[in-house]
Amino acid sequence: MNLSAIEESILGGTTARRGDAVFVSGEGCWLTDIDGNRYLDLGSAQGVAMLGHCHPHVTEAIARQAHTLALCPNYLYNDVRAQFAEALVGVLPKHLPHAFLCNSGAEAVDGAMKFARLVTGRSAFVATTKGFHGRTFGALSVTWEPKYREGFEPLLETTHVPFNDAAALDAAVTDRTAAVILEVVQGESGVNLAQPGFLHAAERACRQRGALLIIDEIQTGFGRTGRWFAIEHGAIAPDIICMAKGLGGGFPMGAFAYTAGIRAKLSAGSHGSTFGGSPLACAAGLAAIQTYAAEGLIERSATLGAQMLADLKSALADVPIVRDVRGLGLMLAIELRTKVAPVLKSLMLEHRVIALPAGPTILRLLPPLVISDEEIALGITAIAAALEAASTTPARRSAATAS
């Protein structure tokens, strides 16, 4: 039975696959295919498996809860949901004491945008070029990449301003703006770091003109950048932050947190979710938050990330096709002078290392926070070998020299 062919014939059409390997299990930073081959996962399943695959604390919590109570609608109280909510608020910035629980990052963004419209009575949004916030209609409206938007327009009214252009952002925020939505570190477009002045300008413009500031922490939250949340690097106080990925420790879960002022303007029925905040998801999320804290993974991300960045820069210093190496915490990017797709394919098929793209020329690394020094070294060796090999073809060598 060709399982990859079956999956492609029924579920294919929207995703470009890398090879025909069928993955059947995972542990820590490793995935195992149906033939028993092991692959080092430096992408954490799109940045979700922050605790690695099948972390025992999370899997045990899910199993216990599945035997106890999997579903409990949000019009009924639940013990584990209350415990999770308390733990979540405990790690959130103090000015964000309220949250709505959903199932994904895109849902969190859509909910945040709904709340911004409700609270302000306005309809327009301001976002940034190269920003990515999801592919549902609300989230897609504030996502910049044209290829994701084409065929689905018209979308919600959004003005996209250049990332890190404070003057352009200030000019775009008007008395029609419901919210400005930003990432502190743009992930999908190449690990681009916001300048503190840009973040402060966004906060100032929102305060002056009555708009809300929404920060998308879906990829950056829960230690990815070496802090619980990336806003801690910029010392800003948004009205709403959106979360997912690392929130559930590998279990599908999303949330957005907001201020007491927003909470005061909500009423029963303002928003809802059938599956959001299920006991099963909350058990996973509670175990994840406890594990991040107990194992010191937030601080570890900062330390390992700085070392990994330095080691990557050293290992790739003389590789002709490498244009730049950058990152924050365990969120790293290698910008190339050539297309990244062949390199990603080589890494997986020849070196059994899984990494991510970020646009056509950027190799992105989002390793689990539990990755060891030895696994980092293994990954860097494989990446260096793949990039060295890619640099030796005549066409690529000429392109690298020309650029």
pLDDT, tens digit (0-9, with 9 covering 90-100), for 338-367: 999 999 999 999 999 999 999 999 999 999
215 bridge partner residues:
182, 241
- 400 pLDDT above the threshold of 80: no
| Last residue in a domain, options 245, 264, 294 | 294
Task: Give 116's DSSP letter.
Answer: H
* CA 375 – CA 379 distance, rounded (Å): 6
Residue percentage of the chain with pLDDT more than 70:
97
User: 379 and 263: one domain?
Assistant: no
CA 215 vs CA 26, 170, 178, 317, 398: distances in Å: 32, 16, 14, 34, 41
pLDDT in tens, 23-43: 999 999 999 999 999 999 999
Q: What is the pLDDT of residue 234?
A: 86
Q: Give mean pLDDT, residues 370-394.
A: 94
Q: What is the pLDDT of residue 259?
A: 98
User: 259 and 311: one domain?
Assistant: no
265 within 8 A of 92, measured Cβ to Cβ: no
H-helix or E-strand spanning residue 301: helix 297-315
Give 78's pLDDT tier (boundaries 50, 70, 90): very high
Number of domains the chain contains: 2
* CA 328 – CA 350 distance, rounded (Å): 28
Enclosing domain of residue 370? 16-47+298-402
Taking CA 273 as the corner, what is the angle to CA 271 and CA 274, rounded to the nearest 5 degrees? Answer: 145
Give 220's pLDDT tier (boundaries 50, 70, 90): very high
H-helix or E-strand spanning residue 185: strand 185-186
**255 within a domain of the structure (yes/no):** yes
User: 250 and 142: one domain?
Assistant: yes
User: 153 and 134: one domain?
Assistant: yes
User: 288 and 383: one domain?
Assistant: no
- 19 pLDDT above the threshold of 90: no
Q: How many CA atoms lie within 13 A of 252 on its CB side?
A: 7
* CA 24 – CA 69 distance, rounded (Å): 27
Give 401's pLDDT tier (boundaries 50, 70, 90): very low
355 within 8 A of 364, measured Cβ to Cβ: yes
Taking CA 311 as the corner, what is the angle to CA 352 and CA 320, rounded to the nearest 5 degrees? Answer: 75
User: 106 and 191: one domain?
Assistant: yes
Query: What is the average pLDDT score of the chain?
Result: 95
CATH number at residue 234: 3.40.640.10
- 328 pLDDT above the threshold of 80: yes
Q: Give mean pLDDT, residues 315-322.
A: 97
Higher-confidence position of 395 and 122: 122
| Last residue in a domain, options 231, 266, 294 | 294
**207 within a domain of the structure (yes/no):** yes
Say if residue 11 is exposed, middle or buried (CB neighbours under 10 Å; 0-12, 13-18, 19+): exposed
pTM: 0.95
Angle between helices 279-294 and 79-91 (to 10 degrees): 40
User: 265 and 163: one domain?
Assistant: yes
Residue 259: what residue type? T
Helices (H) and strands (E) in the chain, counts: 16, 17
| Last residue in a domain, options 241, 276, 294 | 294
Q: What is the pLDDT of residue 402?
A: 46
- 395 pLDDT above the threshold of 70: no
pLDDT in tens, 257-304: 999 999 999 999 999 999 999 999 999 999 999 999 999 999 999 999
Using DSSP's 3-state secondary structure scheme, residue 206 falls into helix
Q: What is the pLDDT of residue 134?
A: 96
Give 394's pLDDT tier (boundaries 50, 70, 90): low
Written as six digits, the tokens of 119 are 């609270």
**2 within a domain of the structure (yes/no):** no
Known catalytic residues are 132, 216, 245
Using DSSP's 3-state secondary structure scheme, residue 340 falls into coil
Q: What is the pLDDT of residue 204?
A: 98
**338 within a domain of the structure (yes/no):** yes
- Residue (of 305, 327, 323, 310) closest to 387 by Cα position: 323
User: 307 and 186: one domain?
Assistant: no
User: 20 and 134: one domain?
Assistant: no
CATH number at residue 357: 3.90.1150.10
- Helical ranges in 67-185 per DSSP H: 79-91, 105-120, 137-142, 146-149, 166-172
**266 within a domain of the structure (yes/no):** yes
User: 69 and 185: one domain?
Assistant: yes
Count of all residues that appear for the chain in the document: 403
Cα four-point dihedral sign 129, 218, 46, 303 = positive
Q: What is the pLDDT of residue 1?
A: 66
User: 208 and 250: one domain?
Assistant: yes
User: Residue 332: which residues within 8 A CB-CB, separation 6 or more?
Assistant: 191, 305, 308, 309, 312, 325, 326, 364, 365, 366
**4 within a domain of the structure (yes/no):** no
Backbone angles phi, psi at 246, to 5 degrees: -70, -10
Q: What is the pLDDT of residue 398?
A: 46
- 384 pLDDT above the threshold of 50: yes
Say if residue 75 is exposed, middle or buried (CB neighbours under 10 Å; 0-12, 13-18, 19+): exposed
**7 within a domain of the structure (yes/no):** no
CA 88 vs CA 221, 255, 274: distances in Å: 12, 10, 20
User: 193 and 283: one domain?
Assistant: yes
**99 within a domain of the structure (yes/no):** yes
Q: Give mean pLDDT, residues 142-153.
A: 95
261 within 8 A of 97, measured Cβ to Cβ: no
